[in-house]
A and B are shown apart, each in its own frame.
Chain A
Amino acid sequence: MTEGLVVWVMLAPLLGAVTALLGKLLRPLQRPLSILGTASLAVPAVILTLLLGPVMSGESLRYALGGWPEPYGISLVLDGISWFSCAITTVIAAAVALFSLGRRRYEAGYFFFLLIMVAGMYGVALTGDLFTLFVSFEVVAVTVYVLIAWEETDTGLAASYKYLILSTVGILFFLFGIFLVYRDLGVLSISLISRALAEAGGVRNTRFMHLALAFLCGGIGVRTAFIPFHTWLPEAHAYAPHPISAMLSGAMIKVSFFALVRVVLEFGGTYLFELLMWIGAVTALAAVLSALAQSDVKRLLAYHSISQLGYVLAVFGAGSALALTASFSHALNHALFKSLLFLTVGAAVSFTGHRNIHRIPPLGRTMPLFSAAFFAGALSISGIPPFNGFASKGLITTGMEGSAAYPLLWVTSFLTIASFIKLSRIFLPGPRRAGTTPSSGNSNQGSVPGILQTSVVTVLAILCLGTGMFGGSMAHGLYRIIHGTAPDAIPRLFSAKKLLGVLPAVLLGTAAFVGVSTQWGRQIAGRIRRMAPELRTVLLFFFVGLLVFAVVAY
């Protein structure tokens, strides 16, 4: 019976989406129907809560769609990883949907796309079949193309086009990988592939499976946006509507990352761990450097998304069971605080109508709750106790103990602090501003966030704080969800040594901020800022990354 519930996780948002579509067709019922559609997100939440028990005891629930058994039909699989990724999706999607409901500008069509996207992400998380993974990726992607360009700004459309080309090329290589898998193993179900590979003696003993794995990784890599596949992300995340930015940063790249984890683990691609670790570390550092140079607030946040994903990837590359927990925990925390940051900063942007960090006046007195929430997010991402960034960064430190890539991450952490000192300028207390200031012709300017939006942001801030305070037990629970057993030892979170370790990072961060503020620092920042790559270069990056993945196996 419990297996039967799994399919409803996907089905509920799909039905909700159709409800919203009907709302689009029947004009007068638009508002209630879109609320009804959004309410369908409660179903997956309830189901996931119900299924937490079996997942924690290490079961993996398999649901054969249409009653066809595995090698012939498609199965939905709910194990620890997919439960976790579904949970992240649900939380972020609910927050984003409520936030969007609070703004009258989004009509029913928007909710249709949003809910289909959520359904597609559940599909990516749940499916146990490579080709269904492809289809789910495409469902997500098609909605994302529309949603990025939803407000039809010049930049939004261009970003959408860029993402479309890049991710379609990625998915072509993904299909090629599927072809190789099907040719050599004759099955498409991921668990059976894993079994067949184990019989053959691992990926490296087959002639082509490592190539297939490289292509699959390249395809998913575009969605996950680590270097060198990251180039679409800054534009797409920066110029999408604000709730969509939160959704993309918070949930979508995470879900793709979990798909990557699943593929790599099931293929037994342990030889990729070192590469992934280094890629992650380099990603974290390079992205945070670019972020420090940005003056557009949302671009800055977008680069931070890449950087934090670098953390997640690097610690996943460390390979131990604890490292996996650390990686997942950081993914969760990042989802929470990054969507919080995007929502608050997005509210500031739509309030003032400016995107430049130096043009936005200090809003601390105008939007007190929002600025409090923003500071919660900023402290989280900087890794200041007791917020959740501290908790997961502590886990990461433990997970990557003794690895050569760790110094890069450490440098990243204080650069993160520096860039957030730079960003917090916009939420410092300043003169109070009136609710509507029609200065330039921008129509979406001066909208004061409503009660629903404020409460969403508050709840997210409280979640950031809560997951930080109870970081130890969170990590414990996560370990059980992922591995199905209780951990041997989770290191203590709030030890004096770690607490003291924050101090030099803060100091160095402040120093870095001061350094960036100097004339010389600004020049360099300007130079980095102008390095926005063209589409052609972006595609070359993609091929380089693909070839790196392919070559590493030899």
Chain B
Amino acid sequence: MKSGHLLTVLEVALLLLTALFLLQALQGPHPESSDVRGYLVENGSHETGALNLVTAIYLGYRAFDTMGEIVVLLVAVTGVIYFAASRERKDEEDHDS
């Protein structure tokens, strides 16, 4: 179990180093405004007709992302069913043969 301890030490060191980088990045400046946000807040609900700006972006400007997300969900559902069902499938095959 000597190597296990060594690994743990290495792990902690690497994680701390990564954390340091993350922290260093997070301490940066926070720009006050951006054009995109201004435009979206200004015109978003007018252009898409949705009062909820999140929905306006989610289903209006970035509907394509949403479709990708729905595809992921579809795949996940089908995959979960596939794996969860496989014991039954095996049984069926056994009965058949």
Contacts and interface: CB of A to CB of B under 8 A. Distances in A.
Q: Report if A and B touch in the complex (beta carbons < 8 A).
A: yes
Interface of A: 14, 21, 65-66, 68, 71-74, 109, 112-113, 116, 119-120, 123, 131-132, 135-136, 138-139, 142-143, 145-146, 149, 152, 176, 180, 183-184, 186-187, 207-208, 211-212, 536-537, 540, 543-544, 546-547, 550
Interface of B: 7, 10-11, 14-15, 17-18, 21-22, 24-25, 28, 30-31, 34-37, 39-40, 60-65, 68-69, 71-72, 74-76, 78-79, 82-83, 86
B68 to A, nearest CB: 4
15 contacts: A66-B64, A68-B60, A72-B36, A109-B78, A119-B71, A135-B72, A139-B75, A142-B72, A146-B79, A146-B82, A146-B83, A184-B31, A212-B25, A540-B10, A543-B15
A187 B36 contact: yes
A218 to B, nearest CB: 10
Contacts of A146: 75, 78-79, 82-83
A160 B57 CA distance: 34
A146 B72 CA distance: 12
A183 B28 contact: yes
Contact of A135 (B21, B69, B75, B78): B69
Contact of B28 (A14, A139, A186, A207): A207
Given A21-B74, A146-B79, 7 more contacts: A21-B78, A65-B64, A68-B61, A112-B78, A113-B75, A120-B68, A186-B37
Contact of A186 (B21, B36, B64): B36
Contacts of A186: 31, 34-37
Nearest to B62: A74
Contacts, number: 106
A180 B86 CA distance: 42
B79 A142 contact: yes
A142 B28 contact: no
Contacts of B72: 135, 138-139, 142
Instruction: Please report whether the interface of chain A is mostly helix, strand, loop or mixed according to DSSP.
Output: helix
Contacts of A546: 18
A66 B60 contact: yes
Contact of B21 (A145, A184, A547): A547
A476 to B, nearest CB: 35
A68 B10 CA distance: 48
A486 B63 CA distance: 38
A211 B18 CA distance: 11
A123 B79 CA distance: 21
Contacts of A547: 14, 17-18, 21
Nearest to B90: A152
Nearest to A180: B25
A142 B75 contact: yes
A123 B83 CA distance: 26
A116 B71 contact: yes
Contact of B25 (A65, A120, A208, A537): A208
B18 A149 contact: no
Contacts of A74: 61-62, 64-65
A126 to B, nearest CB: 11
A213 to B, nearest CB: 12
B37 to A, nearest CB: 7
B85 to A, nearest CB: 10
Contacts of A536: 7, 11
Contacts of B22: 176
A152 B86 contact: yes
Contacts of A112: 78
B44 to A, nearest CB: 8
Contact of A73 (B35, B62, B68, B78): B62
A116 B71 CA distance: 8
A2 B24 CA distance: 46
6 cross-chain pairs, A with B, having the tightest CB-CB distances, nearest first: A186-B34, A135-B68, A146-B79, A543-B14, A65-B64, A73-B61
A184 B65 contact: no
Contacts of A119: 71
Contacts of A540: 7, 10-11, 14
A145 B79 CA distance: 9
Contacts of B30: 183
B10 A211 contact: no
B61 A116 contact: no
Given A131-B65, A537-B7, A547-B14, A211 B75 contact: no
A132 B34 contact: no
Contacts of A211: 21, 24-25
A537 B18 CA distance: 16
Contacts of B62: 73-74, 131
A550 B36 contact: no
Contacts of B82: 109, 146
Given A21-B78, A536-B11, A540-B11, A132 B68 contact: yes
Contacts of B65: 74, 131-132, 135
Nearest to B21: A550
B14 to A, nearest CB: 4
A183 B34 CA distance: 9
- Among B10, B18, B34, B72: residue with most chain A CB under 10 A: B72
A98 to B, nearest CB: 22
Nearest to A21: B78
A71 B68 contact: no
Contacts of B35: 71, 186
